Amino acid sequence: MLNHIVGGRLFAVILKFKSTLAFSGPPNDGTTSTRVPSFPRTTTIPDSLHLSLPVRNNDGENESATCIFDIVVSCIVMKNINDPVVGGIPVKRLKLSNLPAKHDFKMTFPRTPGSIDPNNPPWPAYRGYHTYSFANATMGHRLPTILGKAIDDVVYTLNEQSDEDLIVDLVQCIERMDSLKSELQEHAKLRPIIDDGEADVALWNKAIVKYFRGKDFMNAPWLFAEAYKYRRLRECFSVSKYWSNYDVFFRQKCDTFSRSNEAVFELSGRFGEPFKHAENLSSSEKAESLRLMFLELTQVCLWGNSTDLSLLINMTEEQIKSLQSTGGEALAETEKNILGNHMSRLWEVVRDLNKDSVNTGGGRIDFVLDNAGFELYCDCVYADFLLQSGLASEIRFHGKRYPWFVSDVTRKDWAWLLNSMVYGQLFPKATEQEKEGLKRLGLRWKQYEKEGKWIYEQHPFWCTGYTFWEMLNEAPDLFLHLSKSDLVIFKGDLNHRKLTYDCAAPYSTSFDVSIGPMASNAGAPKVCSLRTIKSDVVVGLGSNPQEGDAIGENLDKEEPGWKISGKYAVVLLSEGRPGEQVNLV
Ligand code: F6P
Ligand code: MG
């Protein structure tokens, strides 16, 4: 029944990508994976630190000591009911006996909300100087490799030019990239962004001056330093005369989609025809088939994040084919790898959009996109289903304004995908029927755009180093805009890092607590994160703290590298506070 409705083979194709890649474990940016154990974090406060005095880390900061101190103070305040009162004011006395025993105390919110800022996340930040961490491997090895490959791409383009002005201008872009690469390798300080006319210059420079003055590529929080590198890469081109829109990753992004023919045609074959229920189904059977289809497509969309074919950039045609031609794993099997799973609740939310919607039938769903190519194609298939089934009436896609984290979607990638499906000749070996199916799908999607049912947007905030905890403050217009959505789906690893402040929160931390203001601000929309786990921050596991932490700690022991393999995933939902007036003060 399930296979009949959802088509097990397609899913197996997609999952086959995922599981194979999980073992080879490369990141989805074309660099070779460096397997490093993640640096250990402690979530249980040891006795010796109960009265923690400021302790400085390598960076000269007292971030950990301060946050532990905050907790200690709040525990004492809560427990000390017999404090003396002097002049009407209770005086807090530190009593060791009031402190919780080592074993039953877990940090639930180690830094008080008022002391959180981009350099001081709620839990300790990951930083590049943490030796043996993924942050260290990324900053020290992966990013220089990515830059090196990007330079190769520009050199390739350079060699195709004949006009002297264009050549000279492009050579200067390459020189700027070379300098950036040296700065990265020499751990240079983060300098302000040059005013290149981009909408985000002020946002960047405010963050650099306010939170990261004097910080360098290795001692700034990893998230900010990594994002900064992509902004600087942008600057290498944005200040040029002829090449300001050049995308050093565009060739890779196109290439990976063209090499994914089998999975592409599986999807277009099944979804090329408009969605309709099989005849003679009772209304409860229809409802059940809709639910099952929703669940499968949610997983297609989810695992599309790990199967983004930029992962396959170093694979031969033959290797990709063999990945695509074998199947076997079932939906239920893959669901086991979703370690924090709110999919059932997600279905209820989406199902009820139809009921709740006053005018049109179906609600507004926003996708904060991640990667171009195959992942974007999966997202669109999902969005198409949501629209055709009447669950949604409007879908907004949020992409990046310029090349970002290698494979993220820009407007050009969006247009390229839809136009290639209709007019392209990417798949010369495909049958006429396959080509027709893909074209029909592309035409339908372009029609949605014309009718305003699909809307592509690109707010500057998405290309900053800010986390989404700061969205209301730094991009209030965007927060307000999203607050009008019925559901905001964040795709992928980087979006998840930004939702959760990319810090060492305990595995069992609830999604609501991890995303802070994106759940607790008045007007916060319902938020769902569809993320295959490709970096250190992991939250939302288990139904209670013991269970959640045990799941993560077991994997730490049994499967080192599980947090960067893309083999595991989370589907997490926050109910937010929709409908309440956003407080813009
Ligand atoms: O460089 C590491 C990283 O930022 C991780 O978040 C992840 O490995 C990758 O880049 C981005 O993944 P995604 O495309 O899913 O956001
Ligand atoms: Mg990405």
E strand or H helix at 441, and its extent? helix 432-450
Instruction: Calculate how far, in angstroms, residue 106's C-alpha sits from the geometric centre of ligand 2.
Output: 32
Instruction: Calculate how far, in angstroms, residue 13's C-alpha sits from the geometric centre of ligand 1.
Output: 23
Q: What percentage of the chain has pLDDT greater than the value 70?
A: 76
CA dist 472 and 180 (Å) reads 32
Q: Which ligand is nearest to the CA of 230?
A: 1
Confidence of residue 290 (pLDDT cuts 50, 70, 90): very high
* Nearest CA residue ID for atom 3, ligand 1: 494
Residue-level length of the chain:
585
With the most atoms of ligand 1 within 8 angstroms of its CB, the residue from 28, 146, 231, 249 to mutate is: 28
The atom of ligand 1 lying closest to the CA of 371 is 14
- For residue 201, pLDDT beyond 50: yes
Q: What are phi and psi of 278, to 5 degrees?
A: -60, 150
Range from 31-35, 479-483, 504-508 carrying the lowest mean pLDDT: 31-35
Q: Where are the alpha helices (DSSP H) in 400-431?
A: 411-423
The atom of ligand 1 lying closest to the CA of 27 is 8
For the stretch 158-195, what's the b/e string if a residue is b when 16 or more beta carbons lie within 10 angstroms of its beta carbon?
A: eeeeeeeebeebbebbbebbeebbebbeeeeebeebee
Domains and CATH numbers, the chain: 2-90 (no CATH), 118-238 (1.20.930.60), 250-574 (3.40.50.10880)
- For residue 308, pLDDT beyond 70: no
Q: Which ligand is nearest to the CA of 406?
A: 2
* Nearest CA residue ID for atom 12, ligand 1: 493
Confidence of residue 274 (pLDDT cuts 50, 70, 90): confident
Q: Which ligand is nearest to the CA of 31?
A: 1
> Is the model more confident about 239 or about 256?
239
Confidence of residue 96 (pLDDT cuts 50, 70, 90): very low
In angstroms, how far is CA 137 from the centroid of its own chain? 19
- For residue 63, pLDDT beyond 80: no
The 10s digit of each residue's pLDDT in 16-42 is 444 333 323 344 555 544 333 333 333
With the most atoms of ligand 1 within 8 angstroms of its CB, the residue from 18, 29, 32 to mutate is: 29
CA dist 278 and 4 (Å) reads 11
Q: Which residues contact 37 (CB under 8 A, 6 or more apart)?
A: 132, 560, 561
CB count in 10 Å sphere of residue 230: 20
**Angle of helix 143-158 versus helix 250-258 axis, rounded to 10:** 90
Q: Which ligand is nearest to the CA of 534?
A: 1
Instruction: Calculate how far, in angstroms, residue 111's C-alpha sits from the geometric centre of ligand 1.
Output: 26
With the most atoms of ligand 1 within 8 angstroms of its CB, the residue from 413, 493, 533 to mutate is: 493
Q: Where are the alpha helices (DSSP H) in 186-335?
A: 201-211, 222-238, 250-258, 261-271, 283-303, 317-325, 331-335
- For residue 46, pLDDT beyond 60: no
The 10s digit of each residue's pLDDT in 66-92 is 232 222 222 222 333 344 554 555 444
The atom of ligand 1 lying closest to the CA of 492 is 15
SS3 131: coil
Q: Which residues contact 489 (CB under 8 A, 6 or more apart)?
A: 301, 365, 366, 367, 368, 528, 529, 530
Instruction: Calculate how far, in angstroms, residue 97's C-alpha sits from the geometric centre of ligand 2.
Output: 49
Nearest to 402 by CA among 354, 342, 463, 324: 463
Residue 307 is predicted with a pLDDT of 59
Mean pLDDT, rounded, for 308-320: 42
The 10s digit of each residue's pLDDT in 395-436 is 999 999 999 999 999 999 999 999 999 999 999 999 999 999
Residue carrying the six token digits 């907790």:
71
The 10s digit of each residue's pLDDT in 252-264 is 999 888 888 888 9
Mean pLDDT, rounded, for 529-555: 94
The 10s digit of each residue's pLDDT in 437-458 is 999 999 999 999 999 999 999 9
Q: Which ligand is nearest to the CA of 399?
A: 2
- For residue 355, pLDDT beyond 90: no
The atom of ligand 1 lying closest to the CA of 407 is 14
| 128 and 214 Cβ atoms separated by less than 8 Å | no
Residue 348's identity, in one-letter code, is: E
Instruction: Calculate how far, in angstroms, residue 123's C-alpha sits from the geometric centre of ligand 1.
Output: 20
The atom of ligand 1 lying closest to the CA of 408 is 14
The atom of ligand 1 lying closest to the CA of 143 is 1
SS3 314: coil
3-state SS, 457-478, equals ECCHHHHCCCCHHHHHHHCHHH
Instruction: Calculate how far, in angstroms, residue 256's C-alpha sits from the geometric centre of ligand 2.
Output: 14
Q: What percentage of the chain has pLDDT greater than the value 90?
A: 66
* Nearest CA residue ID for atom 6, ligand 1: 494
Instruction: Calculate how far, in angstroms, residue 119's C-alpha sits from the geometric centre of ligand 1.
Output: 20
Residues with CB under 6 A from ligand 1: 27-28, 138, 142, 226, 305, 370-371, 405, 407, 492-494, 497, 534-535
Residue 178 is predicted with a pLDDT of 98
The atom of ligand 1 lying closest to the CA of 496 is 16
CA dist 254 and 214 (Å) reads 39
Residue 356 is predicted with a pLDDT of 61
Confidence of residue 545 (pLDDT cuts 50, 70, 90): confident
> Is the model more confident about 56 or about 350?
350
Nearest to 140 by CA among 36, 42, 262: 36
Instruction: Calculate how far, in angstroms, residue 27's C-alpha sits from the geometric centre of ligand 1.
Output: 7
- For residue 183, pLDDT beyond 70: yes
- For residue 166, pLDDT beyond 90: yes
The atom of ligand 1 lying closest to the CA of 497 is 6
Confidence of residue 381 (pLDDT cuts 50, 70, 90): very high
